[in-house]
Structure 1
């Protein structure tokens, strides 16, 4: 596996596979949003304590992928539901992201950092 100009390349017997960190962020974002207890994704920057919730279309902006020589590091920025054990939700996020990225993309995930930007009550839908 090599890094080249903001892409990740994997050599196989049949040729080279080039993967964008944005593609990996999309896979990770979907895994995060499917985790119980996640209200939404947030921007990495906290300005004046305000958290901007991202729509599902822009949720990849709540994930940052850093490529290493032997894998990737994934940082996710989330808003979680109030009333749940935050550490348990964060561990579930880590498991889901690792499973999704490693099985979909085939790149080992070396580290997953979950940044809880806010905790909000879940609005009841009727």
Structure 2
């Protein structure tokens, strides 16, 4: 039986990148929004990480919590979109880093206008 010889540490920025790329890949997401100012202040104080592209990550007791701020495409069911983003992000984190996900919160900040 193989015993681990140390630890594996995954940087919060890596988790943030996984969440960002996964969310943007969900049909109906036009682009990521922006993390509100109070979330960014919290990340500077060590309670998590927030980046400019609409994702805030917190790791507590080896469990990941993600906040995704999105701009939706027009003519998309927003409730369905949020549920699909939650599912995709949870699956990606579980498969890629093997960490339990405590929450994926989706905030739809706006809907793009039709150009036509």
Q: TM-score, normalised by structure 1?
A: 0.73
How many equivalent pairs are there?
101
Q: Indicate conservation of the 8 Å contact 2:35/2:52, yes or no.
A: no
Superposed CA RMSD in Å reads 2.0
Structure 2 equivalent of residue 27 of structure 1: 18
Match of 1:54 in 2: none
Deviates more, 1:30-39 or 1:113-122: 113-122
Q: Report the structure, 1 or 2, having the larger helix content.
A: 2
| Structure 2 unmatched runs, 5+ | 38-50
Please state which structure has a larger fraction of its residues in strand.
1
Tell me the distance in 2 between the aligned counterparts of 1:42 and 1:60: 8
Aligned equivalent of 1:94: 86
Q: Which residue of 2 aligns with 1:8?
A: none
Q: Is the 8 A contact 2:70 2:106 kept in 1?
A: yes
| Gap runs ≥5 in structure 1 | 1-11, 47-58
Q: 1:123 to 1:101 in 2, by over 3 A?
A: farther
Other-structure match for 2:5: 14
Deviation at 1:123, TM superposition (A): 5.0
Deviation of 1:45 after TM superposition, in Å, equals: 2.3
